[in-house]
Amino acid sequence: MHDKIDYSDIHRILVKVRREDIVYLNGIFESYEGLAVIRTIDRWESIVEILASPYFISEVKNILEELKKEIQLEILEKLI
């Protein structure tokens, strides 16, 4: 019997960035090991999904707000 993983408490944020900034965004979040998982949803439209634990959602939001000062970043959808 396999244990099911419960993803119901994961926070999901969709953001749109310029295509050339996807790698930068990913690198920023990878530097904070374990903070969030970044997935490219649509590389042509440059839409990225950020998945974060409720324990780290405040930090993720703060990073996104700071990144808005550096790169074009639009939060499309917050499922929080």
Percent of the chain surpassing pLDDT 70: 86
- Domain membership flag for residue 6: no
Q: Name the strand (E) or helix (H) holding 12.
A: strand 11-17
CATH code, domain with 56? 3.30.70.100
The rounded radius of gyration (Å) of the Cα atoms in the chain is 13
- Domain membership flag for residue 2: no
- Domain membership flag for residue 55: yes
Residue 30, C-beta contacts closer than 8 angstroms, at least 6 positions apart? 38
Answer whether residue 5 shows pLDDT above 60.
no
- What does DSSP assign to residue 1? -
> 39-68, pLDDT tens digit by residue?
999 989 999 999 998 889 999 999 999 999
- Domain membership flag for residue 37: yes
Q: State how far the Cα of 72 lies from the Cα of 19, in Å rounded to an integer.
A: 10
Look at the pTM and tell me if it is higher than 0.95.
no
Answer whether residue 1 shows pLDDT above 60.
no
Domain range spanning residue 15? Answer: 11-79
- Domain membership flag for residue 68: yes
